Amino acid sequence: MVHHMVVLGAGGIARAVGLILAEWSKDPVQIYIGNRTLEKAKMVAKWIEEGTDRALEVRAFALSEGEPNKEMQQVFSQGDVLLDCLPGGLAPKMATYAREYNLHYVNLTEYVAETNEIIQLAKNAETGFVLQSGLAPGYIDLLAHHLYQEFCADHGVDKVERLEFKVGALTDHAVAPHYYGFTWSPVGVATEYLKEAEALREYKKVSLPSLSERARIIIDGIAYEEDLTSGGAADLPDALKGKVRQLDYKTLRHPGHYAWVQQQIEAVGKGKETIAALQQKMEQQIPHLENDQIVLYAAVTGRDAQGVLRRNERSNTIRPQQIGKHKVRAIQATTAAPMVEAAFMLLKSNTKGVVLQSMIKPKPFLNGHFVASVYGKLD
């Protein structure tokens, strides 16, 4: 049976999603690439076709700004899953299309307000809506949830002291004054630095200012800085309140970066346009780099049934990946693989309604075909 996979967007993540579908899918797929600029969609479609030895045609189509055009209607009517790689602000509109045309839906966005809007929209839907299924939010939340479940099962407890999980999309090298290089969306970076972070403190859900709990951490012998940022915790603060004393997601950076960011935020001041102003300031000084790495770390700390304090940790560093004939950046592969995994999970399970990250069984997903191909299998 052919699966009709509708990929929305023409950026780096959409490219990787399409290529992974084309190259790694065990089932036959028909891929559609939709974008507001048709030429960009055509370029991505051609890039995917050139990246695989498999005989398949990738069809490009134009997304209209207003009501769906005839081609959109045709594609949506044929589609099985809508994989939304567009900017997060457009997510509710794309989810509405999925609801109207009876498609499964998967997105990546860490934007909290848009996620809450889709949760309401997808109530009682006949298809499944997996939200925030990328890297962070996404993979890192499932890894953290797995560590929590494993710790409780191994030590005969149902509460832990701390659950921490962190991701850094980083360059191999870092130079003054910013100690950073863009490997993904500048607006995404600015947004996560300024919107509030959801966490658990004393078992209760709280909202904390981003960049308000900076610390140093050593992972695999290398020193990094970590700080609170928005979105990466997904729905774990809701799912684990009352069970975890302290839970938070932090973004990893090379030492020195956060002090520089704080100076930029103070320079632009607080206001409606702060995100755009910070993005502009960063883009004036920070270069874009193709070569990247993803550093991730998760740990659970708690007392076992005998009262002994214990800690379980996982870390991983992922480099650019060869997928078919193309080499893709680490951020592309690590974000796209969980999205594709979620899409096939929906097709196989015929799940209905909203699926948040805490609702997914962690270990089967983390060891799934697409995810394990990028991240490796869990022990």
- 281 shares a domain with 220: yes
- 280 shares a domain with 256: yes
How confident is the model at residue 269, as a pLDDT?
85
Side-chain-facing half-sphere of 48: CA atoms under 13 Å: 33
CA distances from 296 to 119, 143, 169, 188, 227 (A): 28, 10, 9, 18, 14
How confident is the model at residue 111, as a pLDDT?
83
Q: Looking at 328, 347, 365, which one is the last position of a domain?
A: 328
Helices 274-285 and 257-268, interaxial angle, to 10°?
A: 130
How confident is the model at residue 308, as a pLDDT?
98
Residue with the two structure tokens 């870390």: 315
Give the Cα separation of 127 and 98 in Å (integer).
8
- 264 shares a domain with 370: no
CA distances from 155 to 49, 51, 239, 299, 305 (A): 50, 47, 20, 15, 6
SS3 call for 129: strand
Give the Cα separation of 72 and 97 in Å (integer).
10
- 277 shares a domain with 193: yes
- 97 shares a domain with 16: yes
- 176 shares a domain with 94: no
- 81-96 CB burial, b ≥16 within 10 A, e <16: bbbbbbebebbbebbe
- 325-335 CB burial, b ≥16 within 10 A, e <16: ebebbbbbbbb
- 55 shares a domain with 127: yes
Q: Rounded to 5 degrees, what angle do the CA atoms 112, 296, 349 make?
A: 60
- 278 shares a domain with 167: yes
- 338 shares a domain with 308: no
Q: What is the pTM of this model?
A: 0.96
Q: In which domain, by residue range, is 37 found?
A: 3-136+329-375
List, as one string, the DSSP characters of 47-87. Answer: HHHHT-SS---EEEEEPPSSS--HHHHHHHHH-SEEEE-S-
Give me the number of domains the chain comprises.
2
- 145-179 CB burial, b ≥16 within 10 A, e <16: bbbbebbbeebeeeebeebbbbbbbbbeeeeeebb
Q: In sequence order, what E strands does 210-355 have?
A: 215-219, 222-228, 244-253, 293-303, 309-318, 321-323, 326-328, 353-355
Q: What is the CATH number of the domain that holds 86?
A: 3.40.50.720
Q: Looking at 328, 350, 367, which one is the last position of a domain?
A: 328
Q: What is the CATH number of the domain that holds 147?
A: 3.30.360.10
Give the Cα separation of 310 and 304 in Å (integer).
7
- 32 shares a domain with 78: yes
Q: What is the mean pLDDT of each run of 10 residues along the chain (379 residues)?
A: 97 98 97 98 98 95 93 98 95 97 96 91 96 97 99 98 98 96 91 95 98 98 98 96 99 98 92 89 95 98 98 98 98 98 96 96 98 96
How confident is the model at residue 271, as a pLDDT?
75
- 320 shares a domain with 346: no
DSSP state of 286: P
How confident is the model at residue 350, as a pLDDT?
80
